[in-house]
Amino acid sequence: MQFEQSNLFKAVQMQGIFSDSKQFADAIPKQSWEQACALYDSECPQDLTEFVARHFDFAPQPELTELQATSVKDYIGQLWQRLARDPQTGNASSLLDLPASYTVPGGRFNEIYYWDSYFTALGLMDAGHVGQVSNMLDNFVSLIERIGHVPNGNRSYYTSRSQPPVTALMVSLLWQTHHQDKAWLRKVTDALQKEHSFWMADSDQLNDELTESRRVVRMPCGGVMNRFWDDCAEPRPESYKEDIESASMLEPEYRALFYRNIRAACESGWDFSSRWLDDPEQLCSINTVQRIPVDLNALLQQLEWQLSECYAALGNSAQSACYLQLSQQRKRLIQAYLWDKEQGWFMDYHIALQTRSQVMSLAGVVPMFLGLASQLQAESMVQRLELDFLKAGGLVTTLTNTAQQWDSPNGWAPLQWFAVKGMLNYGYVKLAVTVARRWLAMLERDFEQHACLLEKYNVVEPGVRAGGGEYLVQQGFGWTNGVTSRLYRLLED
């Protein structure tokens, strides 16, 4: 059943029994959701807290208990095992079964997250846990086979959306050791092709009248680019009360669109940011589905290129040529619509206004990370990075200071990696090293005080806790551990 539609679920969430709405969305019913909901409807209990305690359990968060780490490196090494989860079957909760072991971010995030997994995998590879990275890719393949895409996370309430597509990047991590295994190659090629079809669904329906459908948008030149989306336009179960309260500020006819835009921002991984807001100060102005995101389209270009490589390795030259052509077409579209010569930066594109966004963000470095920028463009971008984005603790997410967590003054590990690797790709070693050193120095100082690593950091004022977002800053933390490990390795090399 869709438990989020039940009277029980809505009552618990709206009464605020839990400070974090996600906690009840992840609850484990002692019998089943169907039984608990039927009992609630028949009993009409007065004490909802007692009813929930009687019928539900909650998964522990063991990763930070009794952890004795003397340094950041030691902490990361100890935590890999703590963040690992064995495959489960027949779970009565919202958790989706996975065939292989997996690694979670930590804290409130006790399931896989799609794009997080790539950055976590960097550290796992460095620590010699290649088998775990292979397991993570196997889980992606399984989800694609069952659902048609890798969902936001392995929860039933996440299946209507995905996240920035990184399966191709995971394939590239394992390519050297696995690509001569034809069974593996056929398996991942089929998965990548299905993922590409998910993102491009309805593209054959677009024309001069119908220029947008789901995740595809027909550009003025006739080419097709992509946007973030969610097939559901309802409050998110994991943030149910928050979404209802935010939408209550809008007229009823605008609420479904608000929910879809909120969900689409979650598909972006940047939930939330001025990138998606028409008014940076108002979450209710969110308009994610009217943006062509630079990071998404760069990653889809990589997906198309990787498919070309896979088909070539399988000896299918026709399919290889087809996907190579698609990747080249997308590269031209990225250059035509997302490069802003005046700003010297890759920007998102506003669909309705047919102009580039004014929000400068680190999403713009993803074309450098993937080698899509020219040398002249890279030179311009590196100047911007040094003059505008570089702060005491590393690179700031955007140049816009808001109450949202994916804006200034916050910095995030995955964006540090995109930028550092992007600069190294174009020979800007000095600034790449500076960014890595500032990030690591900030983490080490914070670790001395708090003995843990966090999901995000205030890079403008290191030592001040990062704010914004719908929940307290989380400890763990998968992608911070992975990127930090990789930056240590780069400096050692």
**Which amino acids are annotated catalytic?**
271, 455
CA distance 99 to 95: 13
289, 227 Cβ separation under 8 angstroms: yes
422, 369 Cβ separation under 8 angstroms: yes
Tokens of 329: 């077409």
End-to-end CA distance of the chain: 52
191, 144 Cβ separation under 8 angstroms: yes
User: Parallel, antiparallel, or unpaired for β 410-411 and 457-458?
Assistant: antiparallel
Cα-based torsion angle of the residue sequence 36, 472, 115, 379 in order, rounded to the nearest 10 degrees: 160
Radius of gyration of the CA atoms of the chain, in A: 22
For 22, the 3-state DSSP assignment is helix
CA distance 36 to 17: 17
Place of tokens 């190294």: 424
Q: Indicate the helix (H) or strand (E) that contains 196.
A: helix 182-200
Buried b (16+ CB within 10 A) or exposed e, 195-205: bbebbbbebee
109, 472 Cβ separation under 8 angstroms: no
Q: Strand order in 349-350's β-sheet? A: 291-292, 349-350, 355-356
414, 119 Cβ separation under 8 angstroms: yes
Tokens of 123: 């550290």
Biggest CA pair distance of the chain: 69
CA distance 491 to 449: 24
Tokens of 378: 């890279």
Query: Of 287, 299, 298, 300, which Cα lies nearest the Cα of 351?
Result: 287
For 408, the 3-state DSSP assignment is strand
Give the list of residues 6+ apart from residue 163 with CB closer than 8 angstroms, or none: 113, 114, 115, 150, 152, 267, 268, 269
Place of tokens 């719908």: 470
User: Parallel, antiparallel, or unpaired for β 339-340 and 345-346?
Assistant: antiparallel
